Structure 1
Amino acid sequence: MPTSLFEQFVILWVVVDPIGTIPVFVAVTAGMTPAALRRTAFQAAGVAALVLGLFLVLGQFLIDALGISLPAFQIAGGLILFAFAFTMIFGQPLNGAGAGTERGEGMPAIFPLAVPSIASPGAMLAIVLLTDNHRFSVPEQAMTALVMLLVLACALVLMLLAAPILRVIRGSGAAIVSRVMGMVLAAVAVDNIIEAVRVLIAETPA
């Protein structure tokens, strides 16, 4: 896994996909007042930060408690990240937003905005791998947490600017950006799997 802050930012940006959240945000906040729209954006970012923060703190303990080796989790995470990237590339539904989504101020902020649009399964797995207790010290994990918060802050800003941005890039522009991010995420997923296989081969007795 990459260790530089820039690489971590790129990975978390790709799996959180703040730009891909814009169409979802516009859809679930249709008809809301400007004040309600801002509240929904802040609530969604806050809930996503809480969910990812829990995975950052407790994810490694869960792995250790279940006796799962890091290479095995890394391969599983790589496969899921790849499947996630596959849906981004081919435009399959990712966010679970349907016509029947509740239009109240609280529920859209939690579902589908916070989970699974912002705090996606790929983001949950990525944050666990980037804060592995066996490879990264507490100060390094704290820096990763700050990078995560920076990405979420970017997502919040984009949600607040969603309507004007969507008017500029339109749906086709958002789709192109999402597919490019999907390709990047697929490459990251394959790299995770290759690295995990290398670790397993190195640990196998001759």
Structure 2
Amino acid sequence: MDAHTLLSAIATLVVTIDPIGLVPVFLSLTPNMSASDRRRVAVRATLITFGILAFFAIAGHRLLEWLQIGLPAFRIAGGLLLFWIAFEMIFERRTERKQHTASEAVTKDQIHDLATFPLAIPLMAGPGAITAVILLAAREDRAALGLPLLLLLLALIAGLCLAVFFAAERLSRFLGTTGNLVLTRLLGLILTAMAVQFVIDGVSALDLIHQR
């Protein structure tokens, strides 16, 4: 495995989980909580997210085999899904959707369990993050990460999310509205290129299968 593969995996996980983009949602979900209550919510949501993504890193490929879904098909589907997430990020639709999900949860009296829903699921360990984890874990070439390293990266990303939640108020004030918009669009552009690469890999794998 080379440094390029490692950096690409880190960028994929950071963009799909989007810790910075979760800052306004986290603040909107915990407006009347004390600092200690916010920390408890942040810790629980982070642990749940890591558990879900670690499960799909370990068993996601086997789950696909059990469902009789080929990896090339999942690569293409995952790439299209990641492309849609990137589209939402670039055109500022993802934050609006997350805010709507957050407010919907509050109106349904689920504040007591908001660390699980909607914070961990589906905002952090959502379809895009799960797709990215399965695709990274299923790589079979020489540049593959390996399960231990992938789990370590997931733990690091979870730690990053936790740190961002702890510093949510200060970070939001520091970036400001313009900073949040610029960062979201930049990450969306990077994710767009990665999504296209996932589709190209899936189509290439299908061509190799048909040629055999």
Offset at residue 18 of structure 1 (A): 0.6
Task: Give a deviation string over 1:30-57, Cα, whole Å, max 9, x none.
Answer: 1101110110110110111111112112
Q: CA deviation at 1:169?
A: 1.2
Equivalent residues of 2:16, 2:129 under 8 A apart = yes
Distance 1:39 1:75 in 2: 38
Instruction: State the alpha-carbon separation in 2 of the partners of residues 184 and 134 from structure 1.
Output: 23
Cα shift at 1:180: 1.2
Q: Is the partner of 1:4 in helix, strand or coil?
A: helix
Equivalents in 2 of 1:139, 1:194: separation in Å? 20
The alignment's TM-score, normalised by the length of structure 1, stands at 0.90
RMSD: 2.3
Which residue of structure 2 aligns with residue 35 of structure 1? 36
Tell me the CA shift for residue 203 of structure 1. Answer: 2.5
> Which shifted more, 162-171 or 12-21?
162-171
User: 1:173 is matched by which residue type in structure 2?
Assistant: G
Q: What is the identity, as a one-letter code, of the residue corresponding to 1:121? A: P
- Structure 2 gaps, min length 5: none
Instruction: Give the TM-score normalised by structure 2.
Output: 0.88
**Cα distance in 2, alignment partners of residues 8 and 106 from structure 1:** 34
* Paired position in structure 2 for 1:169: 175
Secondary structure, counterpart of 2:31 in structure 1: coil
**Which of residues 135, 143, 151 is equivalent to 1:145?**
151
Cross-structure match for 1:98:
103
Q: Which region of structure 1 is more displaced relative to structure 2, 178-187 or 105-114? A: 105-114
Q: Describe the shift of the 1:195–1:54 C-alpha distance in structure 2 as closer, same or farther (beyond 3 A).
A: same
**Does the CA-based 8 Å contact 1:38-1:160 persist in structure 2?**
yes
Structure with a larger share of its residues in helix? 2
How far apart are the structure 1 equivalents of 2:208 and 2:110? Answer: 53
* Structure 1 segments unaligned to the other structure (5+ residues): none
Equivalence for 2:120: 114
Inter-partner Cα distance in structure 1 for 2:45 and 2:179: 24
Query: What is the count of residue pairs matched by the alignment?
Result: 205
Tell me what 1:44 maps to.
Answer: 45
Counterpart secondary structure, 1:97: helix
Q: Relative to structure 1, is the Cα distance of residues 106 and 142 closer, same or farther in structure 2, using a 3 angstrom cutoff?
A: farther
User: How far does residue 101 in structure 1 lie from its aligned partner after superposition?
Assistant: 1.3
Residue in 2 aligned with 1:60?
Answer: 61
